[in-house]
Amino acid sequence: MDELYLDNIDEFVNDHDKIVTYKWLSLTLGVHVNTAKQMLYHYLDHKRKESSAQLHATYLVSGKFEDNGQTGHKVSVVKEDQLEDFKSKMSLVVSVHVYSVQKALLKDSGPLYSVDYDAVKDNLKNCTKFSAIRCASAVPMSSLELQQARQIHQVPAPEPEHKKPAMNGEANASKPSTKPQKGIMGMFASKAAPKNQDNVKDIKTEQKEDTPVAEAPKSKPAAKANPMMNFFGTQTAKKPDKTEKKEEAAQSSSSAEVQRQSSQPEEKREAPAVQPPKDTKKEARSKSKRVVDSDSEEEKMEKKKRRRIKKPEPDSSDEDVIPDSPQQMKTRELSPSPEKEVEPVSHSPSQGNSQKTRKRRRVLKARTFVDDEGCIVTEKCYESESYSETEDDVQATKQASKDPVPAKRPASHKPDEKKSQKKTSANANKGSKQASIMGFFQKK
Amino acid sequence: MELQPSILREISDEHNLLPQPARAKYISETDELILEDELQRIKLEGKIDRDKCVTGSVIAIYGAERNDGKFTVEDFCMADLPPQTPRPVLSSDRFVLLASGLGLGSSHADSMLGLQLLIDMVTGQLGDQGEQSGAANISRVLLAGNLLSQSTQDKDASTKPKYLTKKTQAGSVEAIRLLDELLLQLVASLPVDVMPGQYDPTNYTLPQQPLHRCMFPLSSVYPTLQLASNPHIANIDGVRFLGTSGQNVLDIQKYSSMESHLEILEETLRLRHLAPTAPDTLGCFPFYQKDPFILEECPHVYFSGNATTFESKLVKGPDGQEVLLVTIPEFSSTQTACLVNLRTLECEPVSFSAFSANDDEESEMNISH
């Protein structure tokens, strides 16, 4: 064992032509820093006696020196030939040890820094594991403590908590899977559509696999979540970020799922119309088939929804979206409060396994009002309204084709939900392309 | 003061379209010293050094008014040191490391090895056992501002059109990531207080808010990381530390004839006000009921960051107060930090150095003589 390290260092220095600093050695071999320094010293000694290879070393000298009557402490990395010179300049030499060993003569101390930087970067979590000083209080806080610490600073904390049980059952077919890309590419909305579709397909194929793969998509939204942080930008966004980080550390699908769900409610609260990207994870559970055609429609709907929230964002995103935007702006001014109505044509997210939840979605509605001149005007506009899954389901089945689809409650089998989902999405498809013929029979 | 930049003068002066050049000193011969209170103002003359006074100082003068309306000063005094609670007697040596001006993200990364040596020394990896046991007595690290270098303040971002800069990342992003990694190494070993400075991503006006924890995902997990405001008060083992990242001292240096940061620091202590020039020439929040920069209680260690050199002095007050004044040098240029001994209230500079190719040439030149 004792001789092994000599060979190791030999290999590093001669064969790999590396600069072996004591820190790099300690992190690579997993030894205490003082042991690493001794190893380097012995190695150097050994090789010098053998006088085989041409080795150069740098030393670390630290000591006291006088400067205008003020004693100061000086720590320097010096080359071997300057060692004695430095030592003589100091009034008191506190410590000298080998800093690094390398084959080539170093002109500049820059490479020493980069070697150490790389070594530390690879071992960020335990960079002080092999140091000589321990700190009892320097223990990373658990996610619970972090949340507590953050809640002390934050005020609007309690809302996410009580929404949790309601939100648990959300799942979404294609909508949420497109969200992550949309959050980032909201600026480039026109280009987003084809890209989103591809991504959607990718995510779908991923999600169809089992839980072992749940880790892979998990890291994806984590990466996407970070750009999304800028998008949301408020304090609650930190929670999903932190929980995402914890997920990566935990690396177990079950715990990850739990944390993912907890992160969802915060997102939900922020942008109720925009479905949180974390919903993608639900796909592990819902194996419903996605209809590719419906994606494009739903994407457009999503864009519309997002537009409402992203009003202060640059105009480019607005212009790229659907042409009846000016109309929408006008109607928004006229009708400040969205009406809550049950509407048959739903082209918003259809749920897979969701429970009875109330959500907001955009719906094409006709509004009748009296304008300035005293004329009665009917306008079609998109309004957001809240609805619950049950109503949607019932409506969907009403509009179903001749197939006798039993009106099942959402908590039932997946195949049935799949069917109803298909139908709603099919209807959504029709609804957004042109005014449905059923619009004539709409409830006012 | 005639040379003080004034927006009104710029607007009213139609002929002078050139902006005033940035100067190091804004004092001139034609400056006047005026004392004012809620009711009136009066010009001062006499035994008072006009160039050493700054706007915002509260003083008491003794003298007489002459016929031409000017007041001749025979003597003046300032509020002097505030009362101080005596500091506790410590049994063993405990140190606090003060550093500032790390200057991360700059184009020339000469100081990075020095910074790494600093971190290694503090975390106990550098040096042999004796030094490491000495380093174990360092109970806190205080970083006093300018963690990022000035070059990360990208002026282009505001002048260039958005479509050219959309894809480019701000310079401070990479620098903050680097800072986070550095802090991670430090906080795993001892408590760290981080104060923002002039070039750090926080607000411009004093008091600067602490850097946000979302910028430090790796290190904010540790409870030992304290993100502090600027100015900052810390109570370390019963010893009160008070200090800023140096903006107040720099501002006074520009608008008075005083050059030494230490002298200015002592002046502000005697004036009992951290930043007398705020809000006149130093940006600060418009407080109107209470001025938070007035020193109510005297600290034991009073520091300011980002000075050109290291200086320290022990000041004794009329009521037995003892204050250690420290000007923390800029690490990116001087590779020096300060070590304060809490038991004896002494300060020592700690400097780091590495070798470079230039050193060889210099020594050769010496030999040739």
Please tell me the predicted confidence (pLDDT) of residue A350.
42
Q: How far apart are CA B189 and CA B135, in angstroms?
A: 11
Helix or strand or coil: residue A170? coil
Interface list for B 192-231 with A (CB within 8 A): 213-214, 217-218, 221-224
- The predicted model gives A304-330 an average pLDDT of 43
- Token pair 């600027």 is found at B230
pLDDT digits (tens, 9 = 90+) for A46-66: 888 887 667 888 888 888 888
Q: How far apart are CA A89 and CA A109, in angstroms?
A: 21
Please tell me the predicted confidence (pLDDT) of residue A388.
61
Please tell me the predicted confidence (pLDDT) of residue A66.
83
Q: Compute CA A364 distance to the chain's CA centroid, rounded to the nearest angstrom.
A: 33
DSSP code string of B289-335: S--TTB-SS--SEEEEEEESS-EEEEEE-TTS-EEEEEEEEBHHHH-
Sort strands B322-329 and B311-316 into parallel, antiparallel or unpaired: antiparallel
Residues counted in chain B = 369
Provide the whole-model pTM. Answer: 0.61
Q: How far apart are CA A117 and CA A110, in angstroms?
A: 11
A358 against B293, higher pLDDT: B293
Q: What are the CA-CA distances from residue A443 to residues A365, A410, B157 (Å)?
A: 10, 24, 53
Q: Compute CA B24 distance to the chain's CA centroid, rounded to the nearest angstrom.
A: 17
Please tell me the predicted confidence (pLDDT) of residue A215.
39
- The answer to whether the CB of B307 falls within 8 A of the CB of B328 is yes
Q: Does B170 touch chain A (CB under 8 A)?
A: no
Q: Which of B97, B115, B118, B131 should we substitute to test contact with A (largest number of A Cβ atoms within 10 Å)?
A: B131
Helix or strand or coil: residue A383? strand
Q: Does A38 touch chain B (CB under 8 A)?
A: no
State yes or no: pLDDT of B361 exceeds 70: no
Please tell me the predicted confidence (pLDDT) of residue A428.
47
Taking contacts as CB-CB distances below 8 angstroms, the residues of chain B near A33 are 124-125
Q: Compute CA A284 distance to the chain's CA centroid, rounded to the nearest angstrom.
A: 18
CATH architecture assigned to B7-77: Beta Barrel (2.40)
- The answer to whether the CB of B343 falls within 8 A of the CB of B94 is yes
Residue B100 per-residue DSSP state = B
Q: With both helix axes pointing from N to C terminus, report the angle between A389-398 and A414-433 in degrees, rounded to the nearest 10.
A: 70
Q: What are the CA-CA distances from residue A341 to residues A333, A334, A344, A365, A381 (Å)?
A: 19, 18, 10, 10, 14
Helix or strand or coil: residue B226? strand
- 3-state SS of B115-158 is HHHHHHHHCCCCCCHHHHHHHCCEEEEEEECCCECHHHCCCHHH
State yes or no: pLDDT of A346 exceeds 90: no
State yes or no: pLDDT of A351 exceeds 50: no
Share of chain A above pLDDT 90, in %: 0
| Burial class of residue B336 in the structure, from the number of CB atoms within 10 Å of its CB (0-12 exposed, 13-18 middle, 19+ buried) | buried
Sign of the dihedral defined by the CA atoms of residues B14, B16, B18, B23, in that order: negative
Please tell me the predicted confidence (pLDDT) of residue A443.
64
A69 against B300, higher pLDDT: B300
Q: Does B354 touch chain A (CB under 8 A)?
A: yes
Sheet holding B41-46, edge to edge: B34-36, B41-46, B70-78, B59-65
Closest CA to A362 of A260, A431, A269: A431
Q: What is the pLDDT confidence band of residue B305, given thresholds at 50, 70 and 90?
A: very high
Interface list for A 92-131 with B (CB within 8 A): 94-97, 107-110, 112-113, 116-117, 120-121, 124, 127-128, 130-131
Residue environment code for B5-36, b if the CB has 16+ CB neighbours within 10 A, otherwise e: eeeeeeeeeeeeeeeeeeeeebbeeebebebe
pLDDT digits (tens, 9 = 90+) for B259-287: 899 999 999 999 999 999 988 888 888 88
Q: Compute CA B319 distance to the chain's CA centroid, rounded to the nearest angstrom.
A: 27
Helix or strand or coil: residue B351? strand
State yes or no: pLDDT of B14 exceeds 80: no
- The answer to whether the CB of B221 falls within 8 A of the CB of A238 is no
Q: Which residues are CB-neighbours of A433 under 8 A, at least 6 positions away?
A: A297
Peptide bond into B231 cis (omega under 30): yes
Closest CA to A423 of A394, A401, A443: A401
Q: What are the CA-CA distances from residue B143 to residues A68, A147, B174, B351 (Å)?
A: 26, 26, 19, 16
Share of chain B above pLDDT 90, in %: 33
Q: What is the pLDDT confidence band of residue B359, given thresholds at 50, 70 and 90?
A: low
Q: Looking at this protein, which amino acid is placed at residue A131?
A: S
> What is the average pLDDT value for chain A, to the nearest integer?
59
State yes or no: pLDDT of A310 exceeds 70: no
Taking contacts as CB-CB distances below 8 angstroms, the residues of chain B near A66 are none
Residue of chain B minimizing CA distance to A108? B356
Q: How far apart are CA B98 and CA B349, in angstroms?
A: 9
Pair of tokens at residue A310: 């992203």
A310 against A47, higher pLDDT: A47
Please tell me the predicted confidence (pLDDT) of residue A357.
61
Q: How far apart are CA A322 and CA A347, in angstroms?
A: 15
Q: What is the pLDDT confidence band of residue B338, given thresholds at 50, 70 and 90?
A: very high
- Token pair 């004539």 is found at A440
Please tell me the predicted confidence (pLDDT) of residue B158.
64
Output Rg (C-alpha) for chain A, integer angstroms: 32
Q: How far apart are CA B142 and CA B99, in angstroms?
A: 6
Q: Which residues are CB-neighbours of B54 under 8 A, at least 6 positions away?
A: B252, B255, B256, B276, B277
Q: Does B356 touch chain A (CB under 8 A)?
A: yes
- 3-state SS of B323-349 is EEEEEEEEHHHHCEEEEEECCCCEEEE
Output Rg (C-alpha) for chain B, integer angstroms: 23
pLDDT digits (tens, 9 = 90+) for B23-46: 788 888 888 899 998 898 999 988
> What is the average pLDDT value for chain B, to the nearest integer?
85
pLDDT digits (tens, 9 = 90+) for A96-138: 888 888 888 877 777 888 888 888 887 777 767 777 777 777 7
State yes or no: pLDDT of B97 exceeds 80: yes
Please tell me the predicted confidence (pLDDT) of residue A344.
41
- The predicted model gives B331-340 an average pLDDT of 91
Please tell me the predicted confidence (pLDDT) of residue A390.
54
Q: How far apart are CA A131 and CA A116, in angstroms?
A: 14
Selecting from B185, B188, B349 the residue whose C-beta is nearest the C-beta of A72 gives B349
For residue A366, list its beta bridge partners.
Answer: A380
Q: Which of A138-152, A257-271, B51-65, B334-348 has the lowest mean pLDDT?
A: A257-271
- The answer to whether the CB of A117 falls within 8 A of the CB of B116 is yes
For residue A304, list its beta bridge partners.
Answer: none
Q: Looking at this protein, which amino acid is placed at residue B134?
A: G
Q: With both helix axes pointing from N to C terminus, report the angle between A292-309 and A175-185 in degrees, rounded to the nearest 10.
A: 50
Please tell me the predicted confidence (pLDDT) of residue B369.
39
Q: Do B355 and A135 touch (CB under 8 A)?
A: no
Closest CA to B202 of B228, B234, B167: B228
- 3-state SS of A12-71 is HHHHCCCCEEHHHHHHHHCCCHHHHHHHHHHHHHHHHHHCCCCCEEEEEEEEEEEECCEE
B114 against A311, higher pLDDT: B114
pLDDT digits (tens, 9 = 90+) for B217-235: 888 888 889 999 989 999 9
Query: How high is the ipTM of this complex?
Result: 0.79
Interface list for A 366-425 with B (CB within 8 A): none
Q: What is the pLDDT confidence band of residue A250, given thresholds at 50, 70 and 90?
A: very low
State yes or no: pLDDT of A372 exceeds 60: yes
Please tell me the predicted confidence (pLDDT) of residue B248.
92
**What share of residues in chain B are helix, strand, coil (percent, to 5)?**
25, 25, 50
Please tell me the predicted confidence (pLDDT) of residue A171.
38
Closest CA to B30 of B68, B2, B49: B2
pLDDT digits (tens, 9 = 90+) for B177-195: 889 988 988 888 889 999 9
- The predicted model gives B109-133 an average pLDDT of 84
- The predicted model gives B108-126 an average pLDDT of 84
Sheet holding B311-316, edge to edge: B232-236, B239-244, B301-307, B322-329, B311-316
Q: Do A72 and B355 touch (CB under 8 A)?
A: no
Closest CA to B82 of B242, B300, B297, B305: B297
State yes or no: pLDDT of A228 exceeds 50: no
Interface list for B 224-283 with A (CB within 8 A): 224
Q: Do A131 and B217 touch (CB under 8 A)?
A: no
Q: How far apart are CA B137 and CA B91, in angstroms?
A: 12
Q: How far apart are CA A249 and CA B217, in angstroms?
A: 13
Top-level CATH class of B95-367? alpha beta
Sign of the dihedral defined by the CA atoms of residues A424, A429, A435, A438, in that order: negative
B192 against B172, higher pLDDT: B192
- The answer to whether the CB of A177 falls within 8 A of the CB of A201 is no
In A371-441, where does DSSP find H-type helix?
389-398, 414-433
The 8 Å CB, 24+ separation contacts for A404-412 are A410/A351, A410/A353, A410/A354, A410/A355, A410/A356, A411/A355
Q: Does B350 touch chain A (CB under 8 A)?
A: yes
Domain boundaries, given as residue ranges, for chain B: 7-77, 95-367
